[in-house]
Amino acid sequence: MRRVVLVVLCVSALSVPASAQDTTAATLRRARDLYEQLELERALPLLRQIISPGWSYEVTAAQRVEANLYLGAALVLLGATDSAVTHFRAALERDPFTDLDPAQFTPTQVDAFRTARRAVFRIGVRPVAATRLDPRTERISFTVVATHAASARCEIRAIAPALAFPLFVGAIDGMREIEWDGVLANGQLAPSGRYAVVLLAQSRVHAGGGTDSASAYFDVQQEFPALEDTLPDLQSPELLPERYEKSAGTTDLLKGLGVAAGAFLLSEIGTNRGLGESRGMATVVATAGVAVGVGSFFTRRGSSRPENVAANERRRAERAATNQQIRQRNAERLAQTILVIRPAAGAAP
């Protein structure tokens, strides 16, 4: 028995907010039913209760707008047009997207609503819907509204780095769709980050008055296949020496002299003394060795090595060509970038 009581208490505690909502929703539904049955005198108190400060239950913005809308509609039918317009204005001030469907309401009610729209100046931007945008073929649509004719400027603002560019400049009256292809004013695809679509407007009906602004934030995330890294520039250990070392000439001279010495040594110790001396061939090779050594000594000390310069140029060109191909492939991948757009609450992080 005690367990049952505990469960009932828990369920009751959990259901309190839902009951409050339900109470407002139920009252609004009942008022709407009474309105539909033209029992206006009974509907009005219920609707007034919902918007009164004394209503102890939670009321959402949409419920408050709907209550004002039905109050206005009911009052028009009861001949209290001025009061009706006041309630329509209250609804519009809270939500400029509010509208009356001519198929459901009488022309008198629609006229009163139009009067309210002319009297109040409010603009709005509908929250951005999550979507995946292919910038090559698709557009994202922002819905904006002004309660009556206005000069408007709708722009995209990036939070970081800060930049802004207009999407639309002109007159709007009522609701309007403004499209964006995901490209910035400089032609670049919008980088990942937080953005806002901002609407600034000035009433064309209220002379010298009525300015308003509205905005909706959204996040953009670029999505593309993984990119390749380009190869780093060739470093010295990977390149051939482009100049001979200063000691190269001396070393070559010693090698040339070594050849000469070796030739004479061979002709001395390798020959049979009994067969006579023979230095002619050794002299030829020794001369060649000395010539090479001396020539190298004078021409190669610190001089450039054209064959290595050419080989290095070839390697650099090959590296550059490879990197160009990588950049080309990366560009092709970036060209397939998809923008993932998600609504964001509030301002920049």
Partner 1 sequence: MSRIRHAATWVAALLVLTAGRAASQGRWIGTGGLGYVEQRVDAGYGLEKFSGLALEFGVDGRLSSRLAITLRGLGGELQSADAADLDRRIGEAEALASYTLASVWGFYGGVTLRAISSDAGRQHWVVGRIGAEFRPAFSGGRLHAIGRIGLIPVAAIEGLSSAAITLDGAVGLEYERDRISVGLVYALEQYAFTAPGDIERAEQLSRLMLRGGLRL
Give the residues lining the site for partner 1 (CB under 8 A).
244-245, 248-249, 251-252, 255-256, 258-259, 262-263, 266-267, 269-272, 274-276, 278, 281-282, 284-285, 288-289, 292, 296, 300, 305, 307
Nearer to partner 1, 139 or 315 (CB): 315
Nearer to partner 1, 304 or 322 (CB): 304
Nearer to partner 1, 30 or 301 (CB): 301
Least distance in Å: CB of 285 to partner 1?
4
Nearer to partner 1, 191 or 262 (CB): 262
Closest CA to 126 of 140, 110, 105: 140
Tracing tokens 């067969």 back to the chain, one arrives at 275
Q: How many other C-beta atoms lie within 10 A of the C-beta of residue 57? A: 17
Nearer to partner 1, 187 or 276 (CB): 276
Are residues 201 and 211 in contact, defined by beta-carbon separation less than 8 angstroms? yes
Least distance in Å: CB of 269 to partner 1?
7
Q: How many other C-beta atoms lie within 10 A of the C-beta of residue 243? A: 14
Least distance in Å: CB of 272 to partner 1?
5
Work out the burial of residue 202: count CB atoms within 10 Å of its CB; fewer than 13 is exposed, 13-18 middle, 19 or more buried. middle
Least distance in Å: CB of 234 to partner 1?
20
- 155 Cβ partners below 8 Å, 6+ apart? 164, 165, 166, 167, 197, 198, 200
User: CA 251, CA 220: separation in Å to the nearest integer?
Assistant: 66
β-pair partners for 221: 340
User: CA 125, CA 120: separation in Å to the nearest integer?
Assistant: 17
- 150 Cβ partners below 8 Å, 6+ apart? 121, 123, 171, 172, 173, 201, 202, 203, 204, 210
Please provide residue 313's backbone torsions phi and psi, each rounded to the nearest 5 degrees: -60, -40
Are residues 73 and 34 in contact, defined by beta-carbon separation less than 8 angstroms? no
Least distance in Å: CB of 293 to partner 1?
8
Nearer to partner 1, 68 or 267 (CB): 267
Least distance in Å: CB of 132 to partner 1?
57
Least distance in Å: CB of 312 to partner 1?
15
Nearer to partner 1, 32 or 305 (CB): 305
